[in-house]
Structure 1
Amino acid sequence: MKNSFKILLLFLLVTSCKIEDRYYDLSQEGKEFLAYEAGDTFQLKNIETNEIISFSVESKSIEYVEDGPNESSFIFVSYSEELIEIGRILFTDNSNCYKGEIKVKADRDNGFEFTAYLYDCFGDDFYYFQNEFMDTTNVEGVEYSNAYLLRNYPKTLYYSKEKGILKIVDFDDNTLFGLIE
């Protein structure tokens, strides 16, 4: 009985030791991609139909989310969580037809993932940043500098830290949607 109690006590001591949670912070560079604030508005022109679409930013959030246990989590049944910082911007048009999400997520290598998801009247398009950058780009006769390219074959989304979505082009570089200022 005494040995059982010692074993139980030892087991409880070992399993109650929790390894510290790991936090992966979003870099300042990553946070700069969250160009819009809640309540901001912007307009895109559907080049094919000449329709001007007015968007409102519904929300902007930066928070930590669980990304699963880390490698050392299974030692003696104790575990720690890996928490990844994510920034999100949700926006929609007045009719709630065109919707989108801009997301920047910290990664484990001190970098970040930058994505855009456009859905409903946009279709269902997921754009992913792969470290492509253009010094300047033209949108409806206006020159913009520092454009980041997010790809979704066959389309490309041009994005600016200062202005947000600049334009969306097809495979032949024809503009489908362009920023209106």
Structure 2
Amino acid sequence: MGLRASITSGVAFEDCPVPVANRLGEEGMGMKIALATLDSSRIGIAAQAVGIGQGALEEAVRYGLGRETFGKPIAEHQAIQFMLAEAATNLEAARLLTYRAAAMKDEAIPGLSRASSMAKLYASEAAKAVCDSAVQIHGAYGYSREYAVERFYRDVRVTTIYEGTSEVQRMVIARSLLK
């Protein structure tokens, strides 16, 4: 559906013993090691979502300034302005949550799990809404491959899924609050 520029493939290993010297961590700790990477990778997904959303917003602004109805650019209509303002505000909030989580990781500040989950949750959901608005602003053209917002709309969807769905992020955040 989305991320068509990304080549993703499955890999299967059968009868491939790993020498002890080449093992990553202790035996039986693989899942714990894999889960520990999520705090960092969720920051990357949040940043990806912000980037996709920013691209969609820029396309919506460009289209809004160029497309005219009733003798004026559609960007001059209050309904479109409200959509653009909300999109820009939500993207900025997402960007700041992402920067905060990245700074916490860089400085080894406690609470990274919650911060990275908040960044990923907010950024991916905000970007999804921004892409939806961008398609709406483009009207029927937003659904056409002729305009980039169609690709942004497809690509943003996975950011609410991989590295833990939005529901998983909510669980991580809530559990950290209830400790």
TM-score range, shorter chain: under 0.3
Larger Rg: 1
Instruction: Give the strand-richer structure, 1 or 2.
Output: 1
TM superposition score normalised by structure 2: 0.26
Larger relative contact order (C-alpha < 8 A, sep ≥ 6)? 2
